[in-house]
Amino acid sequence: MAEHRSMQRGALLDAARSLLSEGGTEALTFPALAERTGLARSSVYEYFRSRGAVVEELCEVDIPVWAAEVQAAMEREATPEAKVEAYVRTQLALVGDRRHRAVVAISASELDAGAREKIRAAHGGLVTVVVDALEGMGHDRPRLAAMLLQGVVDAAVRRIELGAAEDPQAIIDATVAMALGGVRG
């Protein structure tokens, strides 16, 4: 029984990811979740009390996976500069991933304080992984530089998401150049 509940919960989260990546948070409704999973709407409420609860769980599940991928890419690099480049490139390479799109949609939305706090904590964990590399590059304020660097990455994510006139690869390359040029400064 517990395994069945876990599978249904997983199916609901997967449906939530799809809805978020297709239509943003407005698309994430309990009727839509019920329709996607073939569950009764009342069943959806057995798993989640609100949209905010769905979002919080997605943040808890997906952001650490995403952060781990970024961290693993950084660990494969030898120099602080290469680590910073991996930090930027890996995040931007994940833009096409449904989980990433769901997290972006969540981050852009009006959320309750609990969900916002979970996103902030997860993003804070992501920023922390680049602080050491920036310190290694001799940055005198690595934490501030890391926060600003993440802001540049977030802007590039939005640019790619919007399907901007530029090719995504051009956006990624420009972001890496700006990041490395800026953090050296």
3-state secondary structure the chain: CHHHHHHHHHHHHHHHHHHHHHHCHHHCCHHHHHHHHCCCHHHHHHHCCCHHHHHHHHHHHHHHHHHHHHHHHHHCCCCHHHHHHHHHHHHHHHHHCHHHHHHHHHHCCCCCHHHHHHHHHHHHHHHHHHHHHHHHCCCCCHHHHHHHHHHHHHHHHHHHHCCCCCCHHHHHHHHHHHHHHHHHC
Q: Are residues 30 and 65 in the same domain?
A: no
Work out the mean pLDDT of the chain and round it to a whole number.
Answer: 84
In contact, 148 and 83? CB cutoff 8 Å: no
Using one digit for the tens of pLDDT, what is the confidence trace for 160-178? 877 767 888 999 999 999 9
Can you tell me the mean pLDDT for 66-94? 92
Q: Are residues 5 and 62 in the same domain?
A: no
Neighbours of 46 (CB within 10 A): 12
Q: Are residues 27 and 78 in the same domain?
A: no
Q: Is the model's pLDDT at 107 over the cut of 70?
A: no
- CATH classification of the domain holding 8: 1.10.10.60
Q: Are residues 39 and 96 in the same domain?
A: no
In contact, 91 and 157? CB cutoff 8 Å: yes
Q: Are residues 43 and 56 in the same domain?
A: no
Mean pLDDT is lowest, of 6-10, 126-130, 145-149, for: 126-130
Mean pLDDT is lowest, of 8-17, 66-75, 82-91, 160-169, for: 160-169
pLDDT the model gives residue 48: 92
Q: Are residues 148 and 71 in the same domain?
A: yes
Choose between 98 and 185: higher pLDDT: 98
Q: Is the model's pLDDT at 12 over the cut of 90?
A: yes
Q: Are residues 38 and 111 in the same domain?
A: no
pLDDT the model gives residue 131: 92
Number of domains in the chain: 2
pLDDT the model gives residue 97: 72
- CATH classification of the domain holding 137: 1.10.357.10
Domain that holds residue 9: 1-47
Q: Are residues 14 and 40 in the same domain?
A: yes
Q: Are residues 8 and 76 in the same domain?
A: no
Can you tell me the mean pLDDT for 82-110? 79
pLDDT the model gives residue 108: 61
On whether the pTM is more than 0.85, the answer is no
Q: Are residues 11 and 98 in the same domain?
A: no
Q: Are residues 40 and 62 in the same domain?
A: no
Q: Are residues 36 and 72 in the same domain?
A: no
pLDDT the model gives residue 50: 86
Can you tell me the distance from the alpha carbon of 116 to that of 166, in angstroms, rounded to the nearest whole number? 31
